[in-house]
Amino acid sequence: MTSEEIIALLPYQSPFLFVDEIVSIDENSIEGNYRYDKSLSFYAGHFKENPITPGVILTETMAQIGLVAFGIYLMQRSGESLSKMQIALSSTEIDFYKPVLPDEKVTVKSIKEYFRFNKLKCAVEMHNAQGELICRGKIAGMIKV
């Protein structure tokens, strides 16, 4: 399965798709990136005259790349049909260290902690273009087919 096929199977579309590219993926990890366009609507109010990307959007980006795209890949490898797939986020624990500004490109790296009974839990990190740690934590979710 190619990265383009995985992205096409994501249950999101613009303006709520936060995956530009999957750089690498295997049975234990995934890496992908996204650039937050300055025209995204949330920048108008978060914060006045000092826009930064909301933490909930950073968490969503980590979940889309590090959990959902990864889960699609893992489910497909196990032979599951993905045509009626449903995904539910079950837990997050994220620590934030640096802000993300408009037009900034981030890279998400996710390492599988476990995948069983269609539940995936991963350790995720987000880095900026300079390689600095923006945030990290754990994300888990369920995939129903």
CATH topology of domain 3-144: Thiol Ester Dehydrase; Chain A (3.10.129)
The answer on pLDDT for 142 being more than 80 is yes
Does the pTM surpass 0.85? The reply is yes
Please tell me which residue in 35, 46, 98, 119 is annotated as part of the active site. Answer: 46
- The domains of the chain are located at 3-144
Find all residues with CB under 8 Å of 50, minimum gap 6, and list them.
Answer: none
- Residue 127 bears catalytic tag: no
Name the β-bridge partners of 76. Answer: none
pLDDT computed for residue 143 by the predictor: 84
Mean pLDDT of 49-54: 95
Any idea what DSSP says for residue 128? E
* pLDDT bucket at 69, cuts 50 / 70 / 90: very high
Measured distance CA(122)–CA(84) in Å, rounded? 23
Q: Quick one: pLDDT band at residue 55, thresholds 50, 70, 90?
A: very high
Predicted confidence (pLDDT) per residue in 90-117, tens digit? 999 999 999 999 999 999 999 999 999 8
Mean pLDDT over each residue of the chain, to the nearest integer: 94
